[in-house]
């Protein structure tokens, strides 16, 4: 799940890429410019990271339902080859995601992406964990984007 908690108004969203493998909204992904795909980086990174999202469209028999939660599986699970929306994290913005590894997360610690999951960074990063965020009872981590990188002690 991805929540855009504090973002720049009228920001461009890149919708020209497809998933290279199964993903979940809120994961951190990187672009492959040659194949026009995105994937979860196998090694820790903060460079060229985007939050992955998708259009909330029900599939198959689920189209009969009229009132679905944002957490509905058709809305958060991204299949291999499915078009995605890439949210560019900009300085001053804040996001909530359930795609994280909790080990070592304390408020103010820098975070990075490994395998699509956000977790405590071992490299310099502009992404900062600023606490938990309760989204109608669902646990998300709140990640802010700074204008300078920090390195965890």
- Please state the pTM of the whole predicted model: 0.93
Residues (pLDDT < 70) of the chain are none
pLDDT of res. 88: 97
Structural domains of the chain sorted by starting position, each given as residue range(s) with its CATH number in brackets:
2-150 (2.40.300)
Average pLDDT, the chain: 95
- What sign has the CA pseudo-torsion 142, 143, 145, 146? positive
Q: Give per-residue pLDDT as tens, 87-120.
A: 999 999 999 999 999 999 999 999 999 999 999 9
Q: Exposed, middle or buried by CB within 10 Å (0-12, 13-18, 19+), for 106? A: exposed
Helix (H, G, I), strand (E, B), or coil: what is residue 94? strand
| Of 122, 105, 100, 102, nearest in space to 28 by CA | 100
């Amino acid at each position: 799940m991805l929540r855009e908690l504090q973002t720049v108004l009228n920001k461009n969203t890149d919708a020209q890429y497809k998933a290279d493998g199964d993903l979940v909204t809120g994961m951190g992904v990187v672009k492959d410019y040659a194949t026009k795909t995105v994937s979860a980086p196998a090694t820790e990174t903060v460079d060229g990271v985007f939050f992955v999202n998708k259009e909330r469209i029900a599939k198959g028999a689920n189209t009969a339902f009229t009132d679905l939660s944002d957490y509905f599986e058709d809305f958060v699970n991204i299949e291999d080859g499915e078009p995605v929306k890439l949210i560019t994290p900009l300085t001053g913005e804040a996001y909530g995601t359930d795609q994280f590894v909790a080990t070592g997360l304390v408020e103010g610690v820098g975070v990075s992406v490994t395998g699509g999951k956000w977790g405590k960074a071992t490299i310099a990063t502009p992404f900062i964990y600023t606490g938990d965020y309760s989204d109608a009872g669902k646990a998300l981590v709140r990640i802010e984007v700074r204008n300078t990188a920090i390195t965890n002690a």
